[in-house]
Structure 1
Amino acid sequence: MNITKNLCFLAVSATLLMGCNKKEDFSEQEDPLMTHLDTTISPADDFFMYANGRWFKENPIPASERGNGIFHTIQDTVQAQIRKICETSASETNAKKGSNIQKIGDFYASGMDTVAIEKAGLNPLKLDLKRIDDINDTASLFATIGHLHSIGVHTGFTLVVSQDDKISSQHALVLWQGGLGLDNRDYYFNTDAETANIRTEYVKHLEAMAKLAGTDDATAKKNASMIMKFETELANSSLKMEALRDPVKNYNKMTLAQLQKLTPNIDWAKALPAFGIAKADSIIVSQPGFYANLNKMVKSYSIEDWKVYLKSQLLAEYGTYLSKDFRDEIFHFKGTVMNGVTKQKPRWKKITDHTDSALGELIGQIYVADYLPKGSKEKLLEIGNNIRTVYAEHIKNLDWMSEPTKKKALQKLDKIVMKVGYPDEWKDMSSVVISRDSYCANVMATNKWEYDYMMQKFGKPVDRKEWSIFPQTYNAYYNPSNNEIVIPACNILVPGFEGRMPDDAVLYGIIGGSTFGHEITHGFDDQGSQYDENGNLKNWWTAEDLVKFQAKTKLIVVQYSKFEPLPGKFVNGDATQGENIADLGGVVMGLEAFKKTAQYKNNEKIGGMTPEQRYFLAYGYAWQVNYKKETLAMQIMTDVHSPAQYRVNGVLANLPEFHKAFNVKPGDKMYQPDSLRVVIW
């Protein structure tokens, strides 16, 4: 989307954030927290729309987007910076071969060269399609599946190298369910009209893609039906999203012999080398039932059927990098049918995003040097450490947790590693060869590098300094196996505060509560709480405390399961409970840290709002997100995050400070009686 009127942002420099003692004067400057208010709505009835409604009215979702809001506003400006990096690099036609500039520039230029892309047609996939055609038995089938995985086509199932949940210092080979064109198993079974229509459209899409690849009409129609039947059978043995949240039940370590007994139709000793694993003594089979069914499907479907399925998966992954007819068909299904988007983004936006996705490690180095104010890392750490301090105070004062468990919780909290800003060491991408000759080949090369980088970890110690996100990515994560939170540099950005320091209510509502507080709480949510201070899947709770904790998490499941974002579509309280717990913990800890600031202690009003009112408005601003109904329906079905309105209203209804700040009383829609309020951390 375009930068919206009166809502641009700027990275707040350390000079402003840390070195300026002058009190900011907000009286003559636009305050986004106030200008976004929809005062026709009572904050006691719908705080999310009260805080953001005017902005939504003035900024309808563009036809080319699934949604809009603060994430999109920030991403627009970051994207503009990345575009500048890409275009500047592309203009350096004499850049040294193998340099970061050359790789970024040539990747971007190849993506923008639509003339060459049209001329190439399907040729970039010619060798891979032939490889599929040459399959003649189960051995060559799995050798080809291994090759497809190595170029980013994770067909049939998922195989990765990741930290061993129970031995976090070691890497393990993990088998996970996968191979679904519709991503989530519920798309294949839910009976509501919208989902049923998606299934119908998906079969049409498979047929259209096959025709574009040269298959005759009758065969394309027959093959599309077969693929739908094939994927439905895969989906039938796939666990639901909420069941995938249980790390204990999804940890099933087997010897190679045990896996072979489970899947006798697959010779893993011969198949694994095709995936880049020369030898493995043990494998974590996360969903054994899925692999038992996959074993049956190896025989129940013919080699020809498997070839048809593999081709469809290859085209689904790489079609967007091919000629316009493929791109348009993929946009029709994934953009319009699945997400309600009716207009494609400008080419430069697509290729900027693709370049950042493929070479973000290289772009990140330039981004940090050219766009990140000095001291941003230090300011983020300051806020994070303040959140950790109040978290410790809360744990010590919990009335439901015994001293032995408190001691363990405090040990874990103290050992949480905060990776902030950008990595100390960048990944070595010197082996990636990029040219301006073929966009599709460049994508394949970067996919192959990423896959090889992962596979080469097998048998090596875990590098706990590694990052799994770029500094220019507006997101964050908690990794339970490392007991770490990772907050990229651009999280310092606060939209709407041009050339001035946001007040502490804003800083702690957005960066403190919805970022640091949220991610730290993931270490103590329904999943993270099962890992110890060293990142191992190990119970550190007393039996009595665990029962009490699970009773509290059950309450939040019940609460959120009642929310109905769309008619007949309810939030999946089980699947979203970890994020809901993190939202609740985050806003509580952000508020407690804010209470230690001078702004709060002096009861300073800004825009007529008390410090607490302003803090809650900032938290509402942090989740200022609006989606088209199709995208919202997809989120309900596939995402472990609740829709934005409930990340605000659902959380705040549990806080007595919120009830007091906005005079919420019985009969108001935001009112939650004491007996039903969830209090965990």
Structure 2
Amino acid sequence: MKRVMILSFAAALLATGCTSKSTVKTPGIDLSNLDTTVACGDDFYDYACGGWMKKNPLKPEYARFGSFDQLRENNREQIRLLFEELGKQKAEPGSIAQKIGDLYNMGLDSVRLNEEGASPIAEELSRIQSLSGKEAISAMIGEMHRTTSAPFFAIYVDADAKNSTMNIAGWYQAGMNMGDRDYYIADDEANSKIRDSYRNYIQKIFTLSGYSAESAAQAAATVLKVETEIAKAAFTREELRDPQAGYNVMTIDELKKQFGGLDWDIYFNTVGLDSLKKINIGQPRTLKAVNNLLKTLNEQEIRDYLAFNCIDGAAPYLSDDFVNAHFDFYSKTLSGKEQIEPRWKRALDVPNSLLSEAVGEMYVAKYFPPEAKERMVQLVANLQTALGQHIDSLEWMSDETKAKAHEKLNNFYVKIGYPDKWRDYTGLTVNPKDSYYANIRRAAEFETLYSLKDEGKPVDKTKWYMSPQTVNAYYNPSSNEICFPAGILQPPFFNFDADDAVNYGAIGVVIGHEMTHGFDDQGRQFDKDGNLNDWWTSADAEQFTKRAEILASQYDNIVVLDTVHANGHFTLGENIADHGGLRIAYTALHNTFDGVEPAPIDGFTADQRFYLAYAALWAGNIRDAEILRLTKIDPHSLGRWRVNAALRNMETFFKAFDIKEGDAMYMAPEDRVIIW
């Protein structure tokens, strides 16, 4: 598992995208995407995106569909063509073409998957059910962490937050398969119904795996008991945002002395960290609860909990009965999806994820125009200049802190398009004679060992944490790097045929967003070298916090659905980045004018086109269940509020669209906040 503190532009589920060498021109602003029946001063999101939303109603397979998802679908089609081309060739055994092609084809083979049923996990379940003794249990947990699941907790390797040139192992809270602690402990009707559905799902997949109805019911009760105990102790979403609270390095001897519920020597040897000397405990409170569980649960309870993690991790890659049960809970109940994706999409996502850089290398060669990388280099430089201007203009920041901020800005490590060197997948075996799940398990193990092998070694700053085909971007504070994969360098984000106002409102804001992450409530705690190190004067830190609290309160007051509010503190970092990205990109755009305002296009001024282009990034439709789920788990605000809430702090936005006091979009100057 890789637990790097990546601060991304979009939610993690928006994972892939495409670029094309097509000569078809895309308009900078597509007028059909607007809904001019809505006054821009009443609801700018509906005005700028309403036409797009009407043209793209939600299909049953989606809980949310927006601009990112549209790119994701285009990307899938292009990668599908790549995979089909591989299928027409006679691949050499052990080649990348063989590995990708066989893994894809195994996912398509519904006849074989349904014939095999639960048999691919039978041997693993048998070993789990025969576990006895602390040593055997510790070894099994290590094996599962090395492959497809994370019972009780997760292990990872990443840069040491206070010595960013070296990698260190880390312990991170996990073992809650619903993904958020509130699902287990929130005392309301909605979450109670979700827990009931979860219990039914657990029982069903146990039954499908050969358990009796009685044994499945007892096992389900155990799973909920264990996960609820972990949830009670787990760090909240807000606590997880504090990098200082997440830094607790101890020696392995100290770990063994304080938390003896697991045989750590056997565990680390099994997981692949046999020479470990120290580890960072991300959430000590949660570890204490897990340690207590390992000491107090009886062996049958531990066996049932581990068995569920095995079955749950394998379910998407087994027969249709397992796949549908998994979909019904995780996608239909939690997100509101009505229909599972076609099999080819699910099959494609497996090699696209597990051999991501191998697919990325093929993708870049076919679809990524090199001139996009050249243009991005200049755009990034322009945005750096603009952010420097903003730092200099801050009245509340001292010259001392400004100087350090400039050092950090000038030390950004920029990655564009794709890595300079590609990963080697020679050591991964894909064998179609084995089951689909066995191959996925082996690929997951290959990925885990690839990450864990860096423990105790110098950090490789050339390593990428997103594949080139990803429609997203990120800032990584431990390396002070900003990354823009090839997948995001296309319309509506990056458009060669569009005017500067559109490109600065889209990809310019993305660039500014990632840069601002270096100076948000989390990123500002890391210095120019990526170390967790306080480089602010106390007075400047106080001024920053004061302004950040105003922004958090603005978002806390948003009602996302019925009586449910947004979480302004959980989303604070992304909201600061949105605000900073908008302001910095606007300044960078005006720097290009050199005092001469360009003529309007399609009746819209450059400033209007800038803000319309930004809003277009967040056009989308979403189901109510997904609104509630994302409000729990996603540190990004919902698309509607990334537009309406962010723009209400922008005086230049009010001027561009003549928004005045009394309009719903208007915010009085004394209520606005400027951080960067």
- TM-score in terms of structure 2 length: 0.95
Closer, same or farther in 2 for the Cα pair 1:30/1:274, shift >3 Å?
Answer: closer
Task: Report how far residue 319 of structure 1 moved.
Answer: 0.5
Mapped contact 2:494–2:507 kept (Cα < 8 A): no
Task: Report how far residue 411 of structure 1 moved.
Answer: 0.2
Partners of 1:105 and 1:340 in 2: CA distance? 32
Unaligned runs of 5+ in 2: 1-16
One-letter amino acid matched to 1:509? G
Aligned to 2:445: 448
Aligned to 2:264: 268
Closer, same or farther in 2 for the Cα pair 1:205/1:11, shift >3 Å?
Answer: closer
Give the match's secondary structure for 2:527: coil
Task: Report how far residue 279 of structure 1 moved.
Answer: 2.3
Aligned to 2:619: 624
Mapped contact 1:245–1:575 kept (Cα < 8 A): yes
Partners of 1:407 and 1:295 in 2: CA distance? 46
Partners of 1:446 and 1:522 in 2: CA distance? 32
Mapped contact 1:10–1:494 kept (Cα < 8 A): no
Aligned to 1:571: 566
Closer, same or farther in 2 for the Cα pair 1:599/1:52, shift >3 Å?
Answer: farther
- TM-score in terms of structure 1 length: 0.94
Aligned to 1:657: 652
Partners of 1:464 and 1:495 in 2: CA distance? 30
One-letter amino acid matched to 1:40? T
Mapped contact 2:61–2:339 kept (Cα < 8 A): yes
Give the match's secondary structure for 2:46: helix
**1:609 equivalent in alignment to 2:600:** no
One-letter amino acid matched to 1:483? N
One-letter amino acid matched to 1:352? L
Aligned to 2:246: 250
One-letter amino acid matched to 1:61? L
Aligned to 2:468: 471
Mapped contact 1:168–1:535 kept (Cα < 8 A): yes
Partners of 1:119 and 1:14 in 2: CA distance? 43
Mapped contact 2:575–2:646 kept (Cα < 8 A): yes
- C-alpha RMSD of the superposition: 1.8
Aligned to 1:144: 140
Task: Report how far residue 339 of structure 1 moved.
Answer: 1.1
**1:434 equivalent in alignment to 2:430:** yes
CA deviation string 1:316-343 (max 9, x = no partner): 1110100011011111111211111111
**1:340 equivalent in alignment to 2:374:** no
Mapped contact 1:74–1:495 kept (Cα < 8 A): no
Task: Report how far residue 152 of structure 1 moved.
Answer: 2.3
Mapped contact 1:152–1:451 kept (Cα < 8 A): no
Aligned to 1:95: 91
Aligned to 2:7: none
Closer, same or farther in 2 for the Cα pair 1:545/1:15, shift >3 Å?
Answer: farther
Mapped contact 1:595–1:601 kept (Cα < 8 A): no
Partners of 1:599 and 1:62 in 2: CA distance? 46
Task: Report how far residue 368 of structure 1 moved.
Answer: 0.7
One-letter amino acid matched to 2:441? M
Closer, same or farther in 2 for the Cα pair 1:11/1:110, shift >3 Å?
Answer: closer
Q: Percent identity?
A: 36
Closer, same or farther in 2 for the Cα pair 1:249/1:434, shift >3 Å?
Answer: same
Aligned to 2:317: 321
Aligned residues: 659
Partners of 2:348 and 2:511 in 1: CA distance? 28
Partners of 1:221 and 1:269 in 2: CA distance? 34
Unaligned runs of 5+ in 1: 1-8, 17-25
Mapped contact 1:504–1:599 kept (Cα < 8 A): no
Aligned to 1:543: 538
Partners of 1:608 and 1:369 in 2: CA distance? 39
Query: Given the alignment, which residue of 187, 191, 194 partners 2:190?
Result: 194
**1:39 equivalent in alignment to 2:54:** no
One-letter amino acid matched to 2:376? L
Aligned to 1:6: none
Give the match's secondary structure for 1:556: helix
Query: Given the alignment, which residue of 346, 350, 357 partners 1:350?
Result: 346
Give the match's secondary structure for 2:164: strand
Q: Which has the higher mean CA deviation after the structures are superposed, 433-442 or 40-49?
A: 433-442
**1:285 equivalent in alignment to 2:281:** yes
One-letter amino acid matched to 1:601? V
Task: Report how far residue 150 of structure 1 moved.
Answer: 0.8
Query: Given the alignment, which residue of 503, 510, 514 partners 2:506?
Result: 510
Partners of 2:633 and 2:528 in 1: CA distance? 30
One-letter amino acid matched to 1:156? F
Give the match's secondary structure for 2:414: strand
Aligned to 2:218: 222
Mapped contact 2:492–2:617 kept (Cα < 8 A): no
Q: Which has the higher mean CA deviation after the structures are superposed, 186-195 or 342-351?
A: 186-195
Task: Report how far residue 193 of structure 1 moved.
Answer: 2.5
Task: Report how far residue 69 of structure 1 moved.
Answer: 1.5
One-letter amino acid matched to 1:559? Q
Aligned to 1:297: 293
One-letter amino acid matched to 1:228? L
Task: Report how far residue 346 of structure 1 moved.
Answer: 1.1
Give the match's secondary structure for 1:478: strand
Aligned to 1:153: 149
Task: Report how far residue 376 of structure 1 moved.
Answer: 1.6
CA deviation string 1:525-563 (max 9, x = no partner): 000000000000000001111111111111111111001
**1:588 equivalent in alignment to 2:566:** no
Give the match's secondary structure for 2:432: coil
Task: Report how far residue 119 of structure 1 moved.
Answer: 1.9
One-letter amino acid matched to 1:611? A
Partners of 2:358 and 2:78 in 1: CA distance? 14
One-letter amino acid matched to 1:338? L
CA deviation string 1:485-519 (max 9, x = no partner): 11101211104999x61111111111011x11111
Aligned to 2:130: 134
Task: Report how far residue 312 of structure 1 moved.
Answer: 0.7
Task: Report how far residue 347 of structure 1 moved.
Answer: 0.9
**1:458 equivalent in alignment to 2:455:** yes
One-letter amino acid matched to 1:56? M
CA deviation string 1:439-468 (max 9, x = no partner): 212211210110000111112111010001
**1:124 equivalent in alignment to 2:120:** yes
Mapped contact 1:421–1:487 kept (Cα < 8 A): yes
Paired residues for 1:204-223 under 5 Å:
204-223=200-219
Task: Report how far residue 11 of structure 1 moved.
Answer: 4.1
